[in-house]
Amino acid sequence: MLEGIHPLLTGELLLHLDRMGHSDSVVIADAHFPAWGLGERTIDLPGTTTPEVLAAIRTVIPLDDAPGLDLMESADGEILDVQHELMDAAGTTVETTRFVERFAYYEAARPAYLMVRTGETRKYGNALLRKGVVGHPSA
């Protein structure tokens, strides 16, 4: 157990987040997403939601320059409640978030450094986060 670390950030997840470089991406996937079929590295966090996991990851990873967050566009183009929650968790807005058509989203997700599959059951509850440059403390 570590002090000051969000409890959803397991040791395995922290290891992979630490190994990510600038602009590498992590997909926080809903339970419907083909994470194991697309991802070389996949971690399951059942019993969690994508906004919860995204908020936890954002406690240790800054966003890359815009767009730092991609969301899967809904079939009718409407922004769903889960997507608003994901933008809130990431600290983005509609203007700074890229919405990607479903099949193009799968292609954008394929080269992600890491997939984290959650227990999220709401449709279109997927987020692709690009890691920004991690600052260092002043000397």
Is 136 considered catalytic here?
no
Q: How far is Cα 34 from Cα 4, in angstroms, rounded to an integer?
A: 32
Total Cβ atoms within 10 A of residue 6: 16
The angle at the Cα of 11, spanning 25 to 57, to the nearest 5 degrees, equals: 40
The active-site residue out of 6, 22, 84, 136 is 22
Q: Please identify every residue annotated as catalytic.
A: 22
